[in-house]
Amino acid sequence: MGQFEDETAIRRNGDGRWATSLSARWNIGENANGGYATAGPLRALLDVTEQPDPLSVTTHFLRPVDVAGPAVIAAELVKRGRVASVARASLEIEGRERLTTIGAFGDLDSDVGADGAVELDPPDVAPPEACVPRAELHQGVDLPILDRLDVVLDPACARAGGSDRAVVTGWVRLADGTEPTTPALTLFADVFPPALYPLMGRVGWMPTIELTVHVRRRPAAGWILARFECDDLDGGRMIETGSLWDSTGTLVARSRQLGLVLTG
Amino acid sequence: MGQFEDETAIRRNGDGRWATSLSARWNIGENANGGYATAGPLRALLDVTEQPDPLSVTTHFLRPVDVAGPAVIAAELVKRGRVASVARASLEIEGRERLTTIGAFGDLDSDVGADGAVELDPPDVAPPEACVPRAELHQGVDLPILDRLDVVLDPACARAGGSDRAVVTGWVRLADGTEPTTPALTLFADVFPPALYPLMGRVGWMPTIELTVHVRRRPAAGWILARFECDDLDGGRMIETGSLWDSTGTLVARSRQLGLVLTG
């Protein structure tokens, strides 16, 4: 097992509850990364739905995950379906609910209907070896998670305020060499710097209110290419939309979040 | 009050439950339109959160809403927040849960952080009077809902299989002249023909598994302009992404859904 699987392990306690232990090694500053914090609940959801893949996962981040160590996951099946089963889960630490997630789960290897000449091609991005490690950006926060993940950015978007577009492109992989899985894609959708960074630089705290990840296909081995764009910011609320492709150029996941850009 | 408000009215029964009555006048074939079916639960969510606007609404459609008449809504507050409050609701008819929805609610008139030169401009679309009424499309299903809504399509996307792109653009408004509200935007995000229609024509039943609508700004009076695109179809599962602008060209909502394209 790799670090991601080890450090998101869950133990069923019965009555729809699981025990887990959160590691501080996936932190962004003092808080667990949202994608990492969601990974334990996601495993409980795969368990209750008895499906291999997340198809759609929507998480509301209620309170910071600012405490490492023991946590309780509650999960329940909402509806078992032929093509997709729906279930919801929550993560509780020290008696307070930190996040709630609901998703549809299924088997991405099963063909349930039409195919078509409709696909999203990957953008042009510099190869990983020509990209800038995320650790070299000046984001004003410690990033322990970068010991667990390799995240590199295209040079065109690696400088604070150095671009006229709120677009971040780059690559991500697990640092221990573990190959990507569909649950790992939901993590990868939440580990890049804000798409606003190249346009606006450091703009304050940017908590996510809601993040939805659609996993589209099982990824091939190797780096995952990612593109995120913010094309909609108003009154401190922004929408960031992302897409992930595997090393063969196949689209593997989409994401969209509602986030805040708090300057005060 | 207009038809939309009348026909989505709810009555609080206490204990987190509300009574409502679904009208068949908003049907797509034999089933209630998803956006209409979600409107009653949405009102209960605005009630429990005590907020004026939906910011983000994610609905999982569990079973067809194939029965008009009495229905029961259950809703609960998940977390009250300063900027956004989270709550979830369900719609039950004849003892079966038809949909479950979770969302973040707030006040779109409040400014909570950064603004920026980041906005999405509306596409070029023919004016409403030069567009094709949705009723003139050949979709192979009765559309009672078109007595409640005016939905018109740009001529470029109004012919089945007549385009090389899975893009639908057009306009929508309530047929009784009621002006748009933020809850109505969540309806409007779910009342256009599938974005695959101009590319592939009629392709079978296309149920939505999950739909998320982000409401961005309160709409001005008049028609709402809409654009939907499917750029991702595989194995019968597709992602459709939408944007809505008001009559002044201001972006007012975004949407994304995971849907099925069932040919069998």
Mean pLDDT, rounded, for A121-132: 97
**Residue A212 contacts residue A259 (beta carbons within 8 Å):** no
Residue A254 with chain B: CB contacts under 8 Å: 232, 239, 256
Q: Which two tokens stand for residue B48?
A: 């429990």
* pLDDT band, very low/low/confident/very high, at B239 (cuts 50, 70, 90): very high
* pLDDT band, very low/low/confident/very high, at A264 (cuts 50, 70, 90): low
Cα A90 from Cα A75, distance rounded (Å): 7
Q: Write down the ipTM of this complex.
A: 0.97
Cα A71 from Cα A250, distance rounded (Å): 36
Cα B234 from Cα B213, distance rounded (Å): 23
For the beta carbon of residue B264, count every other beta carbon within 10 angstroms.
8
- CA A252 vs CA A214, A216, A240, B75: distances in Å: 9, 5, 18, 34
At B40, give phi and psi (nearest 5°).
-65, -55
Give yes or no for residue B181 having a pLDDT over 80: yes
**HEC letters along chain A:** CCHHHHCCCEEEEECCEEEEEECHHHEECCEECHHHHHHHHHHHHHHHHCCCEEEEEEEEECCCCCCCEEEEEEEEEEECCCCCEEEEEEEEECCEEEEEEEEEEECCCCCCCCCCCCCCCCCCCCCHHHCEEHHHCCCCCCCHHHHCEEEEECHHHCCCCCCCCCEEEEEEEECCCCCCCHHHHHHHCCCCCCCCHHHHCCCCECCEEEEEEEECCCCCCCCEEEEEEEEEEECCEEEEEEEEECCCCCEEEEEEEEEECECC
| SS3 label, residue B263 | coil
Task: Check B110 against A235: CB less than 8 A apart.
Answer: yes
For A224-246, the pLDDT digits (tens) are 999 999 999 999 999 999 999 99
Cα B184 from Cα B26, distance rounded (Å): 13
| Cβ neighbours for A216, distance < 8 A, ≥ 6 positions apart | A108, A251, A252, A253, A254, B232, B234, B237, B239
CA atoms within 13 A on the CB side of B118: 28
Residue to mutate among B51, B56, B85, with most A CBs inside 10 A, is B56
Instruction: Say which of A62, A63, A254 has its CB closest to residue B232.
Output: A254
For B84-96, the pLDDT digits (tens) are 999 999 999 999 9
**Residue A49 contacts residue A11 (beta carbons within 8 Å):** no
Task: Check B58 against A210: CB less than 8 A apart.
Answer: yes
For B121-176, the pLDDT digits (tens) are 999 999 999 999 999 998 888 999 999 999 999 999 999 989 999 999 999 999 99
Residue B102 with chain A: CB contacts under 8 Å: 58, 60, 100, 102
Bridge partners, residue A186, by sequence: none
**By mean pLDDT, which of A134-148, A176-190, A232-246 is the weakest?**
A134-148
Q: Which two tokens stand for residue B212?
A: 């998320």
Counting beta carbons within 10 angstroms of the beta carbon of residue A127, is it exposed (0 to 12), middle (13 to 18) or buried (19 or more)?
exposed
| SS3 label, residue B41 | helix
For B214-226, the pLDDT digits (tens) are 999 999 999 999 9
Query: Which chain B residue has its CA at the smallest distance from A230's CA?
Result: B118
Cα A104 from Cα A173, distance rounded (Å): 25
Residue A83 with chain B: CB contacts under 8 Å: 209, 236, 260
Residue to mutate among A100, A109, A210, with most B CBs inside 10 A, is A210
CB pairs under 8 A between A and B: 197
* pLDDT band, very low/low/confident/very high, at B257 (cuts 50, 70, 90): very high
* pLDDT band, very low/low/confident/very high, at B203 (cuts 50, 70, 90): confident
Report which DSSP code applies to B2: -
For A32-74, the pLDDT digits (tens) are 999 999 999 999 999 999 999 999 999 999 999 999 999 999 9
For the beta carbon of residue A253, count every other beta carbon within 10 angstroms.
26
Give yes or no for residue B83 having a pLDDT over 90: yes
Mean pLDDT, rounded, for A8-25: 97
The pLDDT, as a whole number, for residue B175 is 98
- Global pTM reads 0.97
Give yes or no for residue A171 having a pLDDT over 90: yes
For A248-260, the pLDDT digits (tens) are 999 999 999 999 9
Task: Check A56 against B116: CB less than 8 A apart.
Answer: no
Integer-rounded Cα radius of gyration of chain A:
18
* pLDDT band, very low/low/confident/very high, at B264 (cuts 50, 70, 90): low
Residue A199 with chain B: CB contacts under 8 Å: 116, 118
B55 to chain A nearest CA, in Å?
8
Cα A239 from Cα B116, distance rounded (Å): 12
For B95-127, the pLDDT digits (tens) are 999 999 999 999 999 999 888 778 899 999 999
Query: Which chain B residue has its CA at the smallest distance from A77's CA?
Result: B62
**Topology of A3-108+127-260 in CATH?**
Porin (2.40.160)
Per-position DSSP letters for B138-198, written without gaps between them: --SS--GGGGTEEEEE-GGG-STT--SS-EEEEEEEETT-PPP-HHHHHHHTT-SPPTTHH
CA angle B160, B166, B167 (to 5 degrees): 95
A109 to chain B nearest CA, in Å?
8
- CA A180 vs CA A212, A219, B22, B133: distances in Å: 19, 6, 45, 46
Instruction: Say which of A58, A62, A203 has its CB closest to residue B114.
Output: A203
Residue A79 with chain B: CB contacts under 8 Å: 60, 62-63, 97
In CATH terms, the superfamily for domain B3-108+128-260 is Acyl-CoA thioesterase, double hotdog domain (2.40.160.210)
Residue to mutate among A55, A101, A237, A239, with most B CBs inside 10 A, is A237
* pLDDT band, very low/low/confident/very high, at A140 (cuts 50, 70, 90): confident
User: What's the mean pLDDT when you consider all of chain B?
Assistant: 96
The pLDDT, as a whole number, for residue A117 is 74
**Residue B66 contacts residue B22 (beta carbons within 8 Å):** no
Q: How far is CA B204 from the centre of its chain?
A: 21
